A and B are shown apart, each in its own frame.
Chain A
Amino acid sequence: MDYSAYDTADFVCDDSFVAWVKEGRDGAHWEQVIKQYPDKQEQILQARAIILAAAQLPPFQLKAQDQQQMWDQIRSQMDTTEAAPVKKSRFIYWYWAAAAVCIMAGAALWWMRPEKETAVVYTRLLKEAKLDGNKRIEEINEESTVRTVRLPDGSSVVLEPGARISYPVCATNNCKREVYLSGAAFFEVSRNTQQPFIVYANEMVINVLGTSFHVKAYDKDSLVQVYVKTGKIALSVQPLGSMVISNVSANQQAILQRNTLVVSVQLSEQHHIELQAPEATTYSFVFNDAPVDSVMSTIENAYGVHIAYDKVLLADCRLTASLTDEPLYEKIRLICRALEADCIIKGNDITLSAKGCHRY
């Protein structure tokens, strides 16, 4: 099929195109078309927008009580036209038979579903980026609790159980900051306006400068969700090209419908419940004259790390700090500086040696 002469109207009138936009059918075909005809990107986006706008036109609702009243009217007219005995024909039987078939088919599909959660899109993206095993570093959280990973640029990623990320191996200082994600994770990105930080989460592409956000991108889910805690991110959708579809700011969440590639953004005050965000998303990290051991346990719980320090020596120390927008390691550095302590970070173990604090 040759699409070089297609304009917006031709796409809108193409039944297969409509089936893709509305129901996600023929997806592979149309993603291929987008790749093959880069100069048609604008027409395709226009056609998508027109179809989606029409499909989501606000309806005039028939009130439930009106619907019932109308039915009562119709019934009364039926009764007057004839007093025929009500035939409960085989319709009911067919109805239940059909329902039973549906249920059995559903059960069969469920039983036949793939054995284990794989990361199909994640694997494909890595392949397309030519990041073979030796050109990337992969971290997988196989534990049942969260695990924090430190990236070369100082950013931190809190991986939820089962989540995995990959990023390119890089020896120099100005490396591309790119992370591939499958599963759910909380990112705290260190600020660097020269080098954007990009997360590839299934079809969603998240562009950031410095901010914190939580992403949920499971291979089996029909949605990709991102909740922005601080700062701002720019989203694009990979199969639709590099155009920024939307900007998402703090306390907003964006949801990508994977079959139709529709993105919606909403204010999110109750995201914690919906997203079941990890601890690091929900903790505030604002400490006001707080005892050191409560600060330490907050951080330990949030990031799944262990902090070793002399509890007796620091028993009287108190901290006042607002650490909402820094990656884990920056938080630790700031705390250590405030306590005039030396800090050593080794994987998930942090050792803090302080001399105690001045009492006033």
Chain B
Amino acid sequence: MAGSENINHASIADHELWIAFKQGDTEAFSEMYQRYAGTLYNYGYHLVPDTALVQDAMQDLFADLWRTRHNLSDTSSIKYYLFRSLRRRLHRMADIKPVLPSTPLQTESIEELKIKTEEYLLLLQRLQQLMSRLPERQQEVIRLRFYDNFNWEEIAGILQINEQSVRNLVQRAIAKLREGWK
């Protein structure tokens, strides 16, 4: 009960924010940027492990948003809009090749690993390592669904494929994870 109320509040705020921004409210635009810059950067860096490139793409994305704000349609999810735009932009800029980013997992310190001695946590870490070795698209779908909390329809929109293909990608990813389970 409380949970669904919160979600409504958040989406109303998002909607209001978008309308205010379209009317030229700089405070709203700034709030939009602060709210999503971190998560957007994380997503972008997973796609193209190149800090400068991702930061450039984000700057251009926001600058263009401001310039073209009068022509933008309404959206109920700013995050969805931003993810989709950034992905397209990065594709254009980087001509994305399947480069495996070296995830922070491998740089985790020995001390941290020692503290997490417990089996269940070890299992989670093992799974995360397996995830980092999945084909790029499967990784992306898993992250969009479980890390960034997008629903199936939104993921299909971001990747420009249909919903069934999204589900198929997840099914294949899970089959691979289960192979590595033992």
A87 surroundings in chain B (CB, below 8 A): 23-26
Residue of A23, A57, A81, A105 most packed against chain B (CB within 10 A): A57
* B-side contacts of A105, CB under 8 Å: 5
CB contacts (< 8 Å) of A78 on chain B: these are 26, 63, 66
> Do A54 and B55 contact each other (CB < 8 Å), given the known contacts A60-B45, A60-B104, A90-B20?
no
- Closest beta carbon of chain B to A268's beta carbon, Å: 10
- Interface flags, A47-62, vs B, CB<8A=1, else 0: 0011111111111111
CB distance from A339 to the nearest CB of B (A): 42
B12 touching A51, Cβ below 8 Å: no
Distance between A289 CB and nearest chain B CB, rounded to angstroms:
37
Partner-binding segment picked from B73-81, B83-91, B92-100, B168-176: B168-176
How many interface residues does chain A have, given as a range?
A: 35 or more
Q: Within B3-30, which residues are at the interface with A (CB < 8 Å)?
A: 3, 5, 9, 12-13, 16-17, 19-20, 23-28, 30
The answer to whether A245 touches B120, judged by C-beta atoms less than 8 angstroms apart, is: yes
On chain B, the residues within 8 Å of A73 by CB distance are 59, 63
B103: interface (CB < 8 Å): yes
Q: Is B46 an interface residue (CB 8 A)?
A: yes
Q: How far is the CB of B67 from chain A (nearest CB, A)?
A: 5
Within 8 A of B (CB), among A20-52: 22-23, 25, 46, 49-52
B115 touching A266, Cβ below 8 Å = yes
- Taking a contact as CB atoms under 8 Å apart, the answer to whether A267 and B115 are in contact is yes
Hey, which chain A residues are within 8 Å of B3, CB to CB? 23, 25
Is B177 positioned at the interface, with any CB of A under 8 Å from its CB?
yes
Evaluate whether A50 and B24 lie within 8 angstroms (CB atoms) in the complex, with A18-B146, A67-B37, A70-B55 already known: no
- Assess whether B38 is in contact with A62, with CB atoms less than 8 Å apart: yes
Contacts A49-B124, A267-B115 given: A60-B25 contact, CB under 8 Å? Answer: no
Asked if B167 and A13 sit within 8 Å, CB to CB, the answer is: yes
Do A55 and B174 touch (CB < 8 A)?
Answer: no
> Is there an interface contact between B177 and A50, defined as CB atoms closer than 8 Å?
yes
Separation of A25 and B7 alpha carbons in the complex (Å)? 13
Flag if B147 contacts A55 (CB, 8 Å): yes
Contact of B27 with A92 in the complex, beta carbons under 8 Å? yes
Most buried by A among B13, B101, B177: B177
Which label, helix, strand, loop or mixed, suits the secondary structure of the B interface?
helix
Q: Which residues of B contact A77 (CB under 8 A)?
A: 59, 63, 66-67
Scoring B3, B17, B63 by chain A CB atoms within 10 A of each residue's CB, the highest score goes to B63
Does A91 touch B at the CB level, under 8 Å?
yes
**List of A residues within 8 angstroms of B170 by Cβ:** 9, 12-13
Q: With A12-B170, A12-B174, A57-B131 given, is the CB distance from A246 to B37 under 8 Å?
A: no
The answer, yes or no, to whether A100 is at the interface (CB within 8 Å) is no
Q: Is the CB of B104 within 8 A of A86?
A: no
Bound CA span A62–B58, Å: 12
Judge if A6 is at the interface, Cβ distance under 8 Å: no
A198 at the interface (CB under 8 A from B): no
Neighbour of A8 across the interface among B12, B55, B174, CB < 8 A: B174
For B132, give the chain A residue with the smallest CB separation. Answer: A57
Q: Which residues of A contact B171 (CB under 8 A)?
A: 9, 13
Question: Once bound together, how far apart are the Cα atoms of A74 and B24, in whole Å?
Answer: 15
Shortest CB distance B147–A (Å): 5
A102 at the interface (CB under 8 A from B): yes
Q: Which residues of A contact B5 (CB under 8 A)?
A: 105
Residues of B contacting A61 with CB < 8 Å?
38, 41-42
- Alpha-carbon separation in the docked complex, A18 to B149 (Å): 10
Contact B27 A74, beta carbon cutoff 8 Å: no
A84: Cβ under 8 A from any B Cβ: yes
Inter-chain contact B124/A56, CB cutoff 8 Å: yes
**Which residue in chain A gives the minimum CB-CB distance to B166?**
A13
Q: How far is the CA of A12 from the CA of B142 in the complex (A)?
A: 10
* Interface flag for A15 (CB, 8 Å): yes
Q: Beyond A54-B143, A246-B120, is A98–B12 a contact (Cβ under 8 Å)?
A: yes
Subset of 21 A-B contacts with CB under 8 Å: A8-B178, A9-B170, A12-B174, A50-B127, A50-B177, A52-B124, A54-B128, A54-B146, A57-B103, A59-B104, A61-B38, A62-B41, A66-B55, A70-B59, A73-B59, A74-B63, A86-B24, A88-B27, A89-B23, A98-B12, A263-B118
Q: 7 nearest interchain CB pairs?
A: A91-B20, A54-B146, A53-B127, A62-B41, A265-B118, A77-B63, A60-B45
Chain A contacts to B: CB under 8 angstroms = 8-9, 12-13, 15, 18, 22-23, 25, 46, 49-62, 66-67, 70-71, 73-74, 77-78, 81, 84, 86-92, 94-95, 98, 102, 105, 109, 245-248, 254, 263-267
Extra inter-chain contacts (5) besides given A46-B178, A254-B118, CB under 8 Å: A9-B174, A53-B128, A78-B26, A81-B63, A89-B28
